[in-house]
Structure 1
Amino acid sequence: MRSKSSTLSSFNLSSWALDNKPLVVFLMLATLIAGLMSFTRLSRNEDPPFTIKTMVVSASWPGASTRDTTHLLTDRIEQKLEETPWLDHLDSYTRPGESVVLVNLRDDTPPGEVTKIWYQVRKKASDIAATLPNGVQGPFFDDEFGDTFGIIYGFTAEGFSDRALRDKLDQIRADILRTKDVGKVNLLGVQEEQIVVEFSPKRLASYGLDVQAVVRAIQAQNAVTPAGVIRRTDEQIGLSVSGAFASEASLKTMTLAVNGRFLPLTDLVTVKRVDADPPAPLFRVNGRKGLGLAISMAPTGNLLDFSAALKARMRGVAEKLPHGIEMTQVADQGTVVKEAVDGFTKVLVEAIVIVLAVSFVSLGARAGLVVTFSIPLVLAMTFSCMELAGIGLQRVSLGALIIALGLLVDDAMITVEAMVGRLERGWDRRSAASYAYETTAFPMLTGTLVMIAGFVPVGFAASSAGEYCYSLFMVILISLLASWIVAVLFSPLIGAWILPKTMASHGEGGDRLRQVFEKRLEQVLARPYMTLGAAAAALVLACIGATQLQEQFFPPSDRPELLVSLNLPNAASIDATDAEAKKLEAILA
């Protein structure tokens, strides 16, 4: 064996690693431990977070026709909102007494500006609120409908009124909000109630009354006015006037003074409690009317941990439910995310196994072991940097890891191959490691940066798709840089431990596969024009074939859910819609 080493004026990182083995070993162990801890702490979600650039502005005008609502409400709101900065377009739909306008921002709107723009929308809509027709309620604003309510529980009741069931769900909602990482809890299917006073103008006229007189009497009875304070030496006692309405029952007991005599209000009008108009969407569970609890997770939560904690709390809630109220889980995004993450993880492991198998076949057992030990170091460094960058495990980041896997082992394989080539020529392991750095470090870094540059348009695209796929760029950037660092710092040390001191040369031998490859290479080089023509023809065929491929951002969802839209004429009542929905339920049952 002979030692051969080039003396370089530049710093050689691989030689430094071999000279400082205790420190490098410590860095390797620290990287593995930090990576393992980061992997357990990374959030698990179905999709990466992104900004919804749509806001809903709504207003209601009870009793107005579709024509009046369109011209006097919807059009005026739209005209004002056209002044919104970064506006792309407005969508609106109008029903009798109801106006809804969707404000859609341009796709290249900076995410950091969206909150400021929504503040401007609120100001502009509020500026015209005083000029809208009398009786208009709103405008109301919703810029948080992009929240994902991935966990939904349905509650049905037998022997309980709708109000009693709602009161119970209000208690459960307050209990759920104390769960860690809960974002919002919304009630579904709740029908707001209103008290309706119906009268006959003829009957009022027979008593010498008009509608306004009755309205003024009811308002005066229910007015809230200060009644004074009794001051004592040690306390103050506030006074209040009794007689305010607590329910429709107290309204029915009201008495009016009419022409010197007193008449019960119920002799003049009919008082009843009904659902508010326009009605809210109904909620049904397995064909039965009920109410739902839709739960969203806070942005900083881990969906798998959150789902498990929420299930434990809901089991306690189910045990305390009174007889007659049943709870059913309608949707569980945690299960979907777990299956998605497990599926991607399985594919990732399979890809690692395939890469390692190729490494062992092409490089040999010991050289393959060097690559095998390099992969955990690269992944550990990647997971640590992902945690620092705030990137969790979701379909985009896991897909990026799979894309990068075939690339992140290349650097380690190049380093090992360079060392093996020197060892076959009789060099010692230290010199071989130093030579590998001298000859491959800069080309590997250049190739890594070129590969990263190919994903720069994805990472910095000024669009919603760019925001959604930002983690694709970041994970590939992190993993490829980590691959280069491991290849020049850790792999030479691992190779010095595992590779033998001497290796028999196989470059001049009768490797059949190598001989076949060299023969085909000589044939190709002997016919340059034919080779270039074949390559050009293959490129043309590939371009033609690409035009036949279907374009889609992501493949169809494999979630076990089916959404059916049932559209009726705009004038259809909620009862007609409910009847048609029941028919559809019967068909699907």
Structure 2
Amino acid sequence: MEKKRNIVEWAMHYRQIVILVTCCLVAFGIYSLPQMQKNEFPDFTIRQGMVIAVAPGNTVNEMVEQVTKPLEDYIFSYKEVKKEKTFSTTRDGIVFVQVELNDELNNKDEFWSKFKHGVATFKSQLPPNVLAIQVMDDFGDTSALLITMESKDKTYRELSDYMDELKNRLRRISSVGRLTVSGERAEQISIYLDPERLSHYGLNEQLIAGQLFAKGFVTTGGRIQTPQYVLPVHVEKTFNTLYDVQQQIVYSDPSGNVVRLQDVARVVKEYPHADSYIKNNGTKCILLSVEMKKGKNIVQMGNDIDRVLEEFKTELPSEVNMFRITDQAQVVGDSVNAFLRELVIAIVAVVIVVMLLLPLRVALVAASTIPVTIFISLGLFYAFGIELNTVTLAALIVTLGMIVDNSIVIIDSYLEKIGEGMSRWHASIF
């Protein structure tokens, strides 16, 4: 009766099939490396969010009774909310509620979509002076690329126009997600009333402000900028030129005499006072944040963005410069290249070290297990949708040592059994 072969003996007996399958898997792994998903860090679920309600003029006690308590009761009506980790902070006119979801919740996007719709409906049950309720749930989104556009000569409006054109081109890349611009400053038309001219015509600030409000003007509430009292009035976009604003009639009498705004005020187009701004290399700039869609290859996205940027730079004026502040695509690409370099170094090191103790043929067998195992692993990563990131690269690097150790232990045992008189076939099976 023929003895039943175990899996090792079967593989040796049909070694042509095993070699063919192994070569196919290695080839698939080599093909998978440039195709597979790559990212700097693995995706993880952020189960925290923030709910902000604003009611100007309310004291802390009024906010607690009228807004905080009803809002908390509504939030706790959702079974997905982890009550022991959800808390609120109330101040004059505003309340912050930090919401944390249960750990077993996997589809957080579906919950937040339902939650935002519910909060928008719930707002009608709050007092009328609650101006807005904002739900923020995108704390886990990270920027894959930060680009500054800067110039010493161009205005913010011109830089914004160039940035809009760049955004339009980047949107055509399928892997590009949200695009966010920071540091923009919009121009405004400001009106500075002159007290002496007002006195000459027998007018005052309140009368002028009333006339301007009736025509659709918006004010910031006034500001004392010099020892002389000045009331700035900002203009909505319905007035496009300085001339339109200067010619506005603010007073008229029965005789047909009129007083125009330019007669009692200085009207200028300027940038408002900025509480914050962005500079790079000591130059004013605006900042573009590029996020990647989930499940995409960040290295491929980086290559697509590079082509767009190189073409766009040729169309920019010489006085406008673009700089990359952070570039995850380059970081990930460098990490993959470093891993491949370490892989080659490991193979060479194994051959040299093992040759000092064992024959060359044995050293080559031990070294060959490294690329075979690694590329088969990469092929399995690609087949099962596992991306290449910092964690998976670290795991592959750690396994390099284990692969070499296993190979040397098996070969050493094989040579030992041959030395004891066992046949090559049975020593290999053992």
Both proteins in one fold, TM over 0.5: yes
Which residue does 1:560 correspond to in 2?
none
1:86 aligns with 2:77: no
Map 1:453-468 → 2, pairs under 5 A: none
Shift, 1:189, TM fit = 0.4
Which residue does 1:24 correspond to in 2?
18
Q: TM-score, normalised on structure 1?
A: 0.56
CA distance in 1, matches of 2:416, 2:289: 63
Whether the 8 Å contact between 2:246 and 2:267 is mirrored in structure 1 is yes
Residues 388/276 of structure 1: CA separation in 2 closer, same or farther (3 Å cut): farther
Shift, 1:91, TM fit = 6.3
1:105 aligns with 2:100: yes
Q: Deviations over 1:343-394 (max 9, x none)?
A: 4544455455555556555654433333222222211221111112322322
What one-letter code is carried by the residue in structure 2 that aligns with 1:284?
A: K
Residues 332/214 of structure 1: CA separation in 2 closer, same or farther (3 Å cut): closer
1:247 aligns with 2:243: no
Q: What secondary structure sits across from 1:329 in the alignment?
A: strand
Whether the 8 Å contact between 1:253 and 1:264 is mirrored in structure 2 is no
Greater shift in the superposed pair: 250-259 or 420-429: 250-259
1:48 aligns with 2:45: no
Residues 418/325 of structure 1: CA separation in 2 closer, same or farther (3 Å cut): closer
Which residue does 2:145 correspond to in 1?
151
Which residues of structure 2 form unaligned runs of 5+? 218-236
Shift, 1:291, TM fit = 1.2
CA distance in 1, matches of 2:248, 2:378: 71
Map 1:56-71 → 2, pairs under 5 A: 56-58=50-52, 64=56, 68=59
Of 366, 370, 373, the match for 1:375: 370
Residues 416/204 of structure 1: CA separation in 2 closer, same or farther (3 Å cut): farther
Shift, 1:320, TM fit = 1.2
Map 1:291-306 → 2, pairs under 5 A: 291-306=286-301
CA distance in 1, matches of 2:336, 2:206: 75
Q: What secondary structure sits across from 1:390 in the alignment?
A: coil
CA distance in 2, matches of 1:428, 1:208: 108
Residues 218/308 of structure 1: CA separation in 2 closer, same or farther (3 Å cut): closer
CA distance in 1, matches of 2:51, 2:252: 46
Structure with greater proportional helix content: 1
Residues 254/328 of structure 1: CA separation in 2 closer, same or farther (3 Å cut): same
1:184 aligns with 2:184: no
Residues 90/50 of structure 1: CA separation in 2 closer, same or farther (3 Å cut): same
Which residue does 2:230 correspond to in 1?
none
Residues 280/383 of structure 1: CA separation in 2 closer, same or farther (3 Å cut): farther
Which residue does 1:76 correspond to in 2?
67
Whether the 8 Å contact between 2:64 and 2:90 is mirrored in structure 1 is no
CA distance in 2, matches of 1:40, 1:273: 53
What one-letter code is carried by the residue in structure 2 that aligns with 1:367?
A: V
What one-letter code is carried by the residue in structure 2 that aligns with 1:313?
A: V
CA distance in 1, matches of 2:272, 2:65: 22
1:36 aligns with 2:35: no
Whether the 8 Å contact between 1:122 and 1:141 is mirrored in structure 2 is yes
CA distance in 1, matches of 2:400, 2:117: 50
Q: Deviations over 1:525-575 (max 9, x none)?
A: xxxxxxxxxxxxxxxxxxxxxxxxxxxxxxxxxxxxxxxxxxxxxxxxxxx
Map 1:441-460 → 2, pairs under 5 A: none
CA distance in 1, matches of 2:387, 2:35: 9
Whether the 8 Å contact between 2:177 and 2:291 is mirrored in structure 1 is yes
Which residue does 1:399 correspond to in 2?
394
Which residue does 2:162 correspond to in 1?
168
Which residues of structure 1 form unaligned runs of 5+? 1-5, 220-243, 437-589
Map 1:256-335 → 2, pairs under 5 A: 266=261, 281-335=276-330
Residues 32/214 of structure 1: CA separation in 2 closer, same or farther (3 Å cut): closer
Q: What secondary structure sits across from 1:376 in the alignment?
A: helix
What one-letter code is carried by the residue in structure 1 that aligns with 2:111?
A: I
Whether the 8 Å contact between 1:43 and 1:392 is mirrored in structure 2 is yes
Residues 370/348 of structure 1: CA separation in 2 closer, same or farther (3 Å cut): closer
What one-letter code is carried by the residue in structure 2 that aligns with 1:301?
A: K
Whether the 8 Å contact between 2:146 and 2:288 is mirrored in structure 1 is yes
Greater shift in the superposed pair: 287-296 or 400-409: 400-409
What one-letter code is carried by the residue in structure 1 that aligns with 2:399?
A: A
Whether the 8 Å contact between 1:73 and 1:132 is mirrored in structure 2 is no
Residues 127/331 of structure 1: CA separation in 2 closer, same or farther (3 Å cut): same
- Number of aligned positions between the proteins: 397
Shift, 1:284, TM fit = 0.8
Higher RCO (C-alpha under 8 Å, 6+ residues apart):
2
Whether the 8 Å contact between 1:371 and 1:412 is mirrored in structure 2 is yes
Residues 48/101 of structure 1: CA separation in 2 closer, same or farther (3 Å cut): same
Shift, 1:397, TM fit = 0.8
Shift, 1:156, TM fit = 2.3
Map 1:159-558 → 2, pairs under 5 A: 159-192=153-186, 215=213, 218=216, 245-247=238-240, 249=242, 250=244, 253-255=247-249, 266=261, 281-354=276-349, 359-360=354-355, 364-433=359-428, 435-436=429-430
Greater shift in the superposed pair: 201-210 or 333-342: 201-210
CA distance in 2, matches of 1:313, 1:349: 34
What one-letter code is carried by the residue in structure 2 that aligns with 1:26?
A: L
Shift, 1:296, TM fit = 2.2
CA distance in 2, matches of 1:69, 1:196: 35
Q: What secondary structure sits across from 1:112 in the alignment?
A: coil
Q: What secondary structure sits across from 1:322 in the alignment?
A: coil
What one-letter code is carried by the residue in structure 1 that aligns with 2:48?
A: T
CA distance in 1, matches of 2:384, 2:174: 23
Residues 432/348 of structure 1: CA separation in 2 closer, same or farther (3 Å cut): same
What one-letter code is carried by the residue in structure 2 that aligns with 1:139?
A: I
